[in-house]
Chain A
Amino acid sequence: MRILLVEDDRETAAYLLKALKEAGHVPDHAADGDEGAFLADANGYDVMIVDRMLPKKDGLTLVAEARAKGDDTPVLILSALGQVDDRVTGLRAGGDDYLAKPYAFAELLARIEVLARRRKPGEAETVLRVGDLELDRLSHTVRRAATNIPLQPREFRLLEYLMKHAGQVVTRTMLLENVWDYHFDPQTNVIDVHISRLRSKVDKGFAEPLVHTVRGAGYMVRASQ
């Protein structure tokens, strides 16, 4: 993926660029808002990571101007401000996702990969398939190898989100935000318990596990072949 990173802190930027390269991406770096806007105009990117507070032109202005020009590149806004109202302003300016500093790199990576994929068409599929697991969004049914798997409504949405992003890492926060619409951090790792319950319904009794734990990052639904 071609990624534009607009971040003014040299050290953070250097670390992120290195990590993004190691994850197999092609990142460009801009150190201020003007340079960021110039690069975004000149080259097409799959995803942009924009710091909210930037010299010359702040992150939200940069995003709003890009959107006004018809640029619909997915944008992840990074900010030291992590409260819900800040998030709302960030998303209103045209950002697609919002991540509060300090963050884990795994979280950032998972989010930009999901963002870049979101852009591709084919999202309106009514049936999601991973290996022999099949989720029908219209009839709200889940089947695996001809066996019907009964799920609670929330378990269904959890599996739906995981399957929609099959092959991608999905973090606990992403699940909490997208499946439960909560932006706070529960003290207990509630998501882990929900996943293990889902796993017991989806994977138990089958030779190949489909719900995988990605250490230090989150979860992934993936078939081996």
Chain B
Amino acid sequence: MTALGKVVRTTAFKLSAMYFVVFSVFAVVFVGWISRETDAILTQQVKDSIEAEIGILADEGLRNGLTGIVAAIEQRSRAPGASLYVITDSDGHVVAGNVTEVPPSLLKLSGLDPVTVPYKRLEADTGRHVAMVQVLPLPNGLRMLVGRDISEIERIRSVVGRAMVLGLGLLICLALLSWFFVSRRVLKRIDSVSATSRQIMAGDLSGRLEVTGTGDEFDRLAQSLNAMLDRIEHLLYGLKDVSDNIAHDLKTPLTRLRTRVEATLAGPERTEPYKAALEATIEESDQLIRTFNALLMIARIEAGSPDGAMGPIDMATIAAEVAELYEPVAEEAEVFLALSLEEPLPMTGSRELISQALANLLDNAIKYVKSGDEREGHGTVGVTARREGDEIVVSVRDNGPGIPAEDRERVLQRFVRLEKSRSQPGSGLGLSLVDAVTKLHHGAISLSDAGPGLIVTLRFPASD
């Protein structure tokens, strides 16, 4: 594409060209109309005054004859802005009047309508003037010509013409200015949007569009696009996280699995060790599958494609059911499970996912209160669900060892397991899933100190 072609294709050029054409047509039509109307009015005025003059002179002629007319002409010629008067004999010689030269052919006309003719006013007059005249036959072959100078009208015409040229020039300037403004101020921002998009497409996800703070459409567009980019970046890092984690945390058990099989094959060919190794392999692969499923599940929830339909659910019922599922587990672990539920607690969500999140929390609480049990008295896990304003608040608290404040944010990440929990079975994905489920339900998760122990609190918007 040529440079000119590029310019012609820009929106700024198209817009400016369109403004120019539209306003030019408007200006030409408008000025043309005004000049035509003015012209017509002025011409009519001249005609009227010529007719009036003729009327007066004709009256004079009737009263005092030709002498009267000549006297009247001479008197009238002296007045400022006088009309033009000529009386000629039948041969066309000027007998009286204030005009020296008129086209001879003119006097042969005897029309009653005024015509426009050039004339010379005095002997010394070198310029040529234009007048509108009417010729009138008098007795004895004489002719009288009465006219008025119309250079006034001509001047107005030329003024209008100049105005038109000037106006069009101004319009071109304005079109150029608007081109400049639109391309500089407005389209530059669109260009910057596409430039940033290209930069982001090239792989730099940290790029963001400029928000000027004027609150105009471009700012709003930039804000929406930035929010979209934040989300994409978050998802992408989530994905990157997952692949990093898979590489790191799944390779370890896979290596263990492979090593065991290899070592067994290298050992004595007896049924006993073979069987033991195969059983251990199945167990290990089951754990791997579980971890893998949990990872996929979290990724899917975080991507916002929920499993199962979101529908009206009752948090009190769900909490009661999950607590009931874990009640024998708690009892076996000699942990006291205390329930405090307000009913009903209606909200929108997935029973399956919320149940799973609560199950993970209870699972953790029972597990860790048990490990803390050695230090002090009886382990207690409390589940409460209540309404606070327009929020539904569910919390699971234990009086176990708790989590140090600096680690509370970190344990929500995938595969993060605190040193002291390494002795407990688990994938390090339980709290990540709770976090993902909470976010999917537009909720918030917070971990705090129960002194001693941990309280995990989930807040969800209630539905009425």
Contact = CB atoms under 8 A, between A and B. Distances in A.
Contacts of A84: 307-308, 352
Interface in A147-191: 154, 180, 182-188, 190
A131 interface: no
Contacts of B286: 104
B130 to A, nearest CB: 93
A190 B358 CA distance: 14
Interface in A71-114: 82-85, 88, 102, 104
B328 A190 contact: yes
Contacts of A190: 325-326, 328-329
B293 A185 contact: yes
B48 interface: no
B356 interface: yes
A207 interface: no
A193 interface: yes
B430 A197 contact: no
A197 B328 contact: yes
A119 interface: no
A161 to B, nearest CB: 15
A187 B289 contact: no
A156 to B, nearest CB: 13
Contacts of A85: 305-309
Contacts of B355: 182, 184
Given A83-B297, A84-B308, A182-B352, A188 B363 contact: yes
Nearest to A193: B328
B360 interface: yes
A18 interface: no
B139 interface: no
B300 interface: yes
A154 B426 contact: no
A25 interface: no
A187 B430 contact: yes
A194 interface: yes
Q: Which of B321, B328, B329, B430 has the most C-beta atoms of chain A within 10 angstroms of its own C-beta?
A: B328
B213 interface: no
Contact of A184 (B309, B321, B359, B426): B359
B392 to A, nearest CB: 21
A197 B296 CA distance: 34
B290 interface: yes
Contacts of A194: 325, 328
Contacts of B366: 188
Contact of A186 (B282, B293, B363): B363
A185 B352 CA distance: 11
Q: Which of A104, A180, A193 has the most C-beta atoms of chain B within 10 angstroms of its own C-beta?
A: A193
B239 to A, nearest CB: 17
A85 B306 CA distance: 8
In the complex, which range does the number of interface residues on chain A fall in?
Answer: 20 to 34
A101 to B, nearest CB: 9
Nearest to A185: B290
B5 interface: no
In the complex, which range does the number of interface residues on chain B fall in?
Answer: 20 to 34
B329 A188 contact: yes
B324 interface: yes
A187 B287 CA distance: 10
B113 interface: no
Nearest to A153: B324
Interface in B303-339: 305-309, 321, 324-326, 328-329, 332
Nearest to B288: A102
Q: Which of A84, A187, A196 has the most C-beta atoms of chain B within 10 angstroms of its own C-beta?
A: A187
A194 B309 CA distance: 29
Given A84-B308, A84-B352, A197-B328, A187 B363 contact: yes
Interface string B421-445: 0000111001000000000000000
Contacts of A83: 296-297, 300, 307
B328 A183 contact: no
B359 A186 contact: yes
Contacts of A182: 325, 352, 355-356, 359
Nearest to A81: B296
Given A83-B297, A83-B300, A84-B352, A186 B325 contact: yes
Interface in B347-375: 352, 355-356, 359-360, 363, 366-367
Contacts of B328: 190, 193-194, 196-197
A82 B293 contact: yes
Nearest to A100: B293
A144 B94 CA distance: 152
A102 B291 CA distance: 13
Contacts of B309: 85, 88
A185 B355 CA distance: 11
Interface string B261-294: 0000000000000000000001001100110010
Nearest to A194: B328
A185 B430 CA distance: 11
Contacts of B307: 83-85
Interface in B405-429: 425-427
Contacts of A184: 352, 355-356, 359
Interface in B227-242: none
A197 B425 CA distance: 23
B26 to A, nearest CB: 61
A187 B332 contact: no
A104 B363 CA distance: 24
A193 B332 contact: yes
Contacts of A154: 324
Q: Which 6 A-B pairs have the closest CB atoms?
A: A84-B307, A84-B308, A193-B328, A184-B356, A83-B307, A187-B363
Given A193-B328, A193-B329, A197-B328, 6 more contacts: A83-B297, A180-B325, A187-B360, A187-B427, A190-B325, A196-B328
5 contacts: A84-B307, A180-B325, A184-B352, A187-B425, A187-B426
